[in-house]
Amino acid sequence: MGLMYRLFARPMLRFQDSEKAHSRTIFMLKVMSSNFLTRKLLSLLYLSRKKLPVNVFGLDFKHPFGLAAGMDKRAEALLGWESIGLSFTEIGGVTMFEQEGNSKPRMFRSDSKKALINRMGFNNPGSERIREKLSKHYLKRGKPKIPLWINLGKSKLTENKDAHVDYSTTMKRLWKFGDVFVINVSSPNTPNLRDLQNQDDLKRIIDSCMDVNKSEAKNVDNVMKPVLIKIAPDMVKEQLESIVKTALDSGCSGIIATNTTISRPTNLTSKEASIFSETGGMSGKPLQELSTDFISMVYGMTEGKIPIVGVGGIMNAEDAWEKIISGASLLQAYSGFVFEGPSLSKSIVNGLSKKLKENGLSTIQEAVGLKHRNGG
């Protein structure tokens, strides 16, 4: 099915506006997964039979591969992601207030480089409407069978000095629905958002979210939800060290490396240059090496003592394996689904299973950080 997608579906996408193609894809997945029979068909086509269980953040995952934020901003296809074989789903980013995002066009695609440029700007219905949507889904369908992650962003109209209120309000509204929460201060598409990566502002945001975490947990079972920080790949090592230290000192459970980058590839054709001149964050294959380098740096800084979620340019099992041996315990993809189609999850899980056998390993956990232990 992956070959069919590359031969027929992907070429057709070239003639469509990138954002419209994205919306149509999410709609089709939502429709296909809403019916038992078609949902079963999706599972038959795209679900891997390989078993690669991992336990991270105190949660059980069928395998290490899940969906990155940005693909399903509005939590529209929750049943679909499980049906095509992912082990967890991250929705959002969700902001305190509803917002339309930046003006269109705001998403651009380079098929030759397998890259996306986007400047969406946290377009989403806002935390109150997402709460209503999740509440209806849970009542009708029950809790998702795979862990649900929620990406927290800052509303554009909220000033940075009040950012902690924006993040913590969204977390409070959605706390009972999410299994993991991700503090996103690293998107390049909201003005001055990345300024919040400084030590004081970041600590204020984390502390405010942790206060919500504690108070909500006290009302249920006293078990707090994991809170992760998503970092940008556009910083020097000293900045990264400061962010990682702040995250650890404030009680965060892990790091997601990385968000999109404002850097661009070189040696471009005139057509490619036109696409890559667009403002916004770049994801896809050109980000693969950079994000893997950041995973490796974070693993070294933390001595492998905190889980890292690797995301950026994963197009196949080889890319996924490289991130795992560099230090990632879990993996996510977004652009990979655009360029490789819904069979990506199955091919990666099957490929990782093969990689474990080739290296004489039994579990994914044994492979995490393998490059560091082997002196790589």
b/e code 301-326 from CB counts within 10 Å (16+ = b) = bbebebbbbbbbbbbebebbbbbbbb
State whether the Cα torsion 342-343-344-346 is positive or negative. Answer: positive
| C-alpha closest to that of 99 among 73, 134, 76, 78 | 73
Encoded amino acid at 363, one letter: T
Alpha helices in 35-77 (DSSP H): 36-46
Active-site residue identified among 48, 127, 168, 187: 187
| C-alpha closest to that of 94 among 164, 150, 143 | 150
| Residue 187 known to be catalytic | yes
DSSP per position, 190-217: STTGGGGGSHHHHHHHHHHHHHHHHHHH
The widest CA-to-CA distance across the chain, in whole angstroms, is: 58
Burial of 268: CB neighbours in 10 Å, binned 0-12, 13-18, 19+: middle
Report the DSSP beta bridge partners of residue 229: 183, 255
Decide if 247 contacts 198 (C-beta within 8 A).
Answer: no
Nearest-5° Cα angle at 339, 334 to 345: 60
Tokens of 343: 């069979």
| C-alpha closest to that of 231 among 319, 298, 307 | 298
As annotated, the active-site residues are 187
